[in-house]
Every structure is written in C-alpha cells, then in structure tokens.
C-alpha cells in the first residue's frame, strides 16, 4: 500500500488552497467588473480597505463566506458563483434558461431539455447547412 509523505500532503493542501483563493479572486474581479464597480467603490461600500479587495482578487487572502455574501449582494449574483470555476457568462446564460423555464410544468421542462439536447447534437454533427 502506498504511503503518503505528510510533507507532500501539506504541500498539496497549500497548493489547493492557493488555487482556490486565486479562482475565487478571479471570480470576484470578474463579477465586480461586470457590475461596473472599481475596487475603491467596492471597498467603500463594504467597509474594508482597497488593498484588501486587491489582495482578495489576486488570491493573496481568502474572503470569508460573510464577505462573499456581501460581494454577491453588491454584484447582484449568487454567493456560489464565486466558488465555481465555470465561465461567468455561461453561469449567467444557464440562470437565464433556468428562469425562463421555471414556470413550465415538469413534463414541459423535460421536453424542452430534450429538444435543446437534440439541437446541440445536431449542431455538433455539422448539420447546420453552412
């Protein structure tokens, strides 16, 4: 059975934490820019220093869940948006589709999802006539 070197495990955890901080920081910066705020405006609104915003966006410090909630409220997004690695535009598009079909009956939603999947498969197969 392979053994894990505790030093290696600690190094992996530090790298994972750093990658997570950077990923969250990029998401904060992206959402801030999409909302049309400067770092200084966000800092003033939330009541922290501009340097703290900058360090969070660079991944130098990890924001708390409370802080992420404050960002989400200010940027009009979900707190979980900062935790995903997906493209923010894709998240926004997915949310639009979800909101558009939310009031449909379950069977209608299922049929619409099937139709979308068929259209995507058709497009990928090169049958778009171009």
**pLDDT tens readout for residues 52-84:** 999 999 999 999 999 999 999 999 998 988 987
Q: Please provide the DSSP assignment of 36-85 as one string.
A: T--HHHHHHHHTS-HHHHHHHHHTSSPPPHHHHHHHHHHHTS-GGGGT--
What are the C-alpha distances in Å from 107 to residues 46, 57, 83, 112, 119?
A: 44, 43, 31, 9, 18
pTM of the entire structure?
Answer: 0.58
In order along its 130 residues, the chain shows pLDDT tens digits of 555 554 555 565 666 777 889 999 999 999 999 999 999 999 999 999 999 999 999 999 999 999 999 999 999 998 988 987 545 566 677 778 888 898 999 999 999 999 999 999 999 998 655 5
Does the domain formed by 6-82 have CATH 1.10.260.40?
Answer: yes
Domain borders along the chain are 6-82, 88-124
């Amino acid at each position: 059975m392979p053994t894990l070197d505790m030093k290696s495990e600690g190094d992996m955890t530090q790298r994972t934490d750093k990658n997570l901080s950077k990923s969250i920081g990029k998401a904060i910066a992206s959402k801030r820019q999409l909302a049309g705020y400067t770092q200084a405006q966000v800092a003033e609104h939330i009541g922290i220093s501009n340097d703290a915003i900058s360090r969070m966006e660079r991944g130098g410090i990890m924001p708390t869940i409370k802080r992420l909630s404050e960002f989400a409220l200010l940027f009009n997004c979900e707190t979980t948006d900062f935790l995903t690695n997906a493209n923010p535009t894709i998240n926004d598009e997915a949310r639009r589709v979800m909101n558009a079909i939310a009031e449909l009956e379950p069977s209608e939603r299922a049929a619409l999802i099937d139709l979308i999947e068929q259209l995507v498969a058709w497009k990928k197969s090169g049958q778009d006539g171009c």
